[in-house]
Amino acid sequence: MRETFQVAKSMYDSYNGTGMQMALFFACLIYLFVQKKEKEKRFMFLGYTLLFFIICFFPVTAKIIIRCIDAEVYWRMFWLLPTAIVTAYTGVQVIMQMDGKYRRHLLLGFMLLVVVMTGTFVYNGSIFDRKANHYKLPQDVVDICDIIERDAAENGIAHKKLITVSELVPSIRQYDAQIKMPYGNEVIRGNKTETEDAYQIFRIMNSVNKNWEALAWYAAMENCNYLAYPADELITDTLFTHGYDKVGENGVYSVFRSNRSKEDYNGEWLITQYGDAGGNQLMFYTMQDKEGHLVVVDGGWVTDADFVRQIIKSLGSHVDAWIVTHPHQDHAGAFTEIYKKKKKITIDQVYAVDMAPPAQCLESAPWDETGVYEQFLQLDIPELTYVHAGDTFEVAGLSFEVFNAYDDYVDELSNDLLNDGSMMFKVTAEHESMLFCADVGKRMSDYLLETYGDALQADYIQMGHHGNGGLKSDFYESIGAKAAFFDAPDWLMQDTSGRYTTQKNASLMASGGAVVCSFSTAPNQIILK
């Protein structure tokens, strides 16, 4: 109730602004209340205003109205107040009661001066712009649409679908209805998009650091073939590498046409790393292709289950393969919770490690936690396949090679069985690969390098144990990755106490030319070609 009242009060303050209109309005109401003439009109104005404020500020009625029109525009309710009518009516009453024509004119002039001095000029530059064309639309919109229409006509393109900055979206729809867009003004106001791809386009376009490679992917999935973007940002070369050609500009915006369609992404996979806004470390990735195939890796804590479920639902609710690297709570918690109540989610295959029994894990590492592991063991998972080092499997053309999983050799090398026995695997598309190290630590580094050598090399790497501790420096240097994914929040990435090695490992990867990705910029995405 209190929150609703605060919203109403905040919206009233927003409507009131910095002027004196409401002060004049209330002064006029007080005058009408004390004066004796025309009681019917007096009670009508006073009664209506009193009823209005009761409805607008009473929590029950205010909540109902907010649900109907949205809290962000609740201030428009105050348009129903008869401020102009009451102020004008009261002013006339005061003037007419004044004796003498001279005094009336003097009082009228004083009233007008008060209004001018305490108000804001309606036709000010912050609200109105001088029209640049007879359409009464921003000239940039006209220019962008004309460039697209000209290019489409010259190249025989019938389908025109444009991605651009949010401030131009409403006007472009007004100017040229033949130019489609992935989302409209309703999405900018916070409503849902029709498709997940359209939402991702909106998210990237409104991000500070834009992932143009991911945008090109979503543009192709959503069949968007044009992009208009501010010309002062030097992105032409970047867009060229992702399949865009520049077709024109007006000095303010550059217009690009994509030469990649959905079919051009055959055999390529979009890999997404998800973060945690609450500051927890966890591991959750998805891999998807243009056909809608989906691979999920881990998922995070039990408390992340709703988020993971939402992501899977947005991607079609069908999981071709779910990989559980090991049964720690920040990796397998969400999977365990979701599998108990899958609802509309379907899962074809589950790949996991045949880990040592919980009692043995705790005997070797008494500090560890096995609650989620014990829940995992209680699940009846007919789709489950346990993998071992040296195993390979395939999901929709995507190849997986397992380098590490719990076995006797882990017992010999480590007492941290849950971490060092977790699944290390490499996923390979047609030309590129990514190595997932899960929570494998330094005790396994030498063994893995000696056993597999160059076979471990990959274009991308998910850092062992969230980048904290994890594998040795020479292991990471041998991979040759051009991007390193740290499943770590800011507090872990930026720690300078010396307790954690995340910052040291981030510097190591950056010095080798790798782009460092962490939760500060999540979701982070790459296209595995």
CB atoms within 10 A of CB 223: 14
Query: Does any domain span residue 130?
Result: no
Q: Are residues 377 and 290 in the same domain?
A: yes
Instruction: Please report the pLDDT score of residue 127 as a whole number.
Output: 56
Query: Does any domain span residue 357?
Result: yes
Of 241, 264, 287, the residue at which a domain comes to its end is: 264
Q: Are residues 244 and 289 in the same domain?
A: no
Q: What is the CATH number of the domain that holds 405?
A: 3.60.15.10
The number of folded domains in the chain is 3
Residue carrying the six token digits 């006029």: 28
**Widest CA span in the chain:** 109
Query: Does any domain span residue 443?
Result: yes
298-312: average pLDDT: 97
Residue 277: pLDDT band with limits 50, 70, 90 = confident
Of 83, 118, 153, the residue at which a domain comes to its end is: 118
Residue carrying the six token digits 């009661």: 97
Query: Does any domain span residue 123?
Result: no
Q: Are residues 172 and 296 in the same domain?
A: no
Q: Which residue did the predictor score with more confidence, 124 or 306? A: 306
> Which of 137, 161, 139, 138 lies closest to 148, judged by CA?
161
Query: Does any domain span residue 134?
Result: no
Q: Are residues 272 and 371 in the same domain?
A: yes
Q: Are residues 306 and 450 in the same domain?
A: yes
Average pLDDT of the chain is 91
Angle at 409 between CA 403 and CA 414, to 5 degrees: 100
Quick check: 175 and 240 in contact, CB under 8 A?
A: no
Strand bridging mode 294-298 / 318-323: parallel
CA distance 60 to 55: 8
Q: Are residues 271 and 408 in the same domain?
A: yes
| pLDDT above 80 (res 17) | no
Query: Does any domain span residue 527?
Result: no
Query: Does any domain span residue 133?
Result: no
Q: Are residues 171 and 259 in the same domain?
A: yes
Q: In this structure, what token pair is assigned to residue 55? A: 């409805």
Q: Are residues 66 and 90 in the same domain?
A: yes
Q: Are residues 476 and 359 in the same domain?
A: yes
Residue 305: pLDDT band with limits 50, 70, 90 = very high
Q: 347: part of which helix (H) or strand (E)?
A: strand 346-353
Q: What contacts 62, CB < 8 A, 6 or more positions away?
A: 4, 5, 7, 8, 55, 56, 74
Q: Are residues 108 and 173 in the same domain?
A: no
> Which of 285, 277, 273, 163 lies closest to 212, judged by CA?
163
Of 60, 83, 118, the residue at which a domain comes to its end is: 118
Q: What contacts 469, CB < 8 A, 6 or more positions away?
A: 441, 442, 500, 501
User: How big, in percent rounded to 5, are the helix, strand and coil portions of the chain?
Assistant: 50, 15, 35
Residue 152: pLDDT band with limits 50, 70, 90 = very high
CA distance 109 to 89: 16
CA distance 26 to 266: 68
pLDDT per position as a tens digit, 441-486: 999 999 999 999 999 999 999 999 999 988 999 999 999 999 999 9
Return the beta strands (E) in 165-300 as ranges.
Answer: 226-230, 244-249, 253-258, 269-273, 284-288, 294-298
pTM exceeding the 0.75 threshold for the entire prediction: yes
Domain that holds residue 504: 266-521
Q: Compute the residue count for the chain.
A: 529
Quick check: 274 and 311 in contact, CB under 8 A?
A: yes
Instruction: Please report the pLDDT score of residue 32 as a whole number.
Output: 82
Instruction: Please report the pLDDT score of residue 346 as a whole number.
Output: 97
Percent of the chain with pLDDT over 70: 96
Query: Does any domain span residue 452?
Result: yes
Instruction: Please report the pLDDT score of residue 24 as a whole number.
Output: 83
Residue 128: pLDDT band with limits 50, 70, 90 = low
Residue carrying the six token digits 């970047």: 238
Q: 384: part of which helix (H) or strand (E)?
A: strand 384-387
| pLDDT above 70 (res 129) | no
Q: Are residues 69 and 210 in the same domain?
A: no
Q: Are residues 308 and 254 in the same domain?
A: no
Instruction: Please report the pLDDT score of residue 436 as a whole number.
Output: 98
Q: In this structure, what token pair is assigned to residue 215? A: 């945008």
Estimate to the nearest angstrom the gap between the alpha carbon of 380 and the chain centroid.
35
Instruction: Please report the pLDDT score of residue 124 as a whole number.
Output: 62
User: Which of 56-65, 280-289, 344-353 has the least mean pLDDT?
Assistant: 56-65
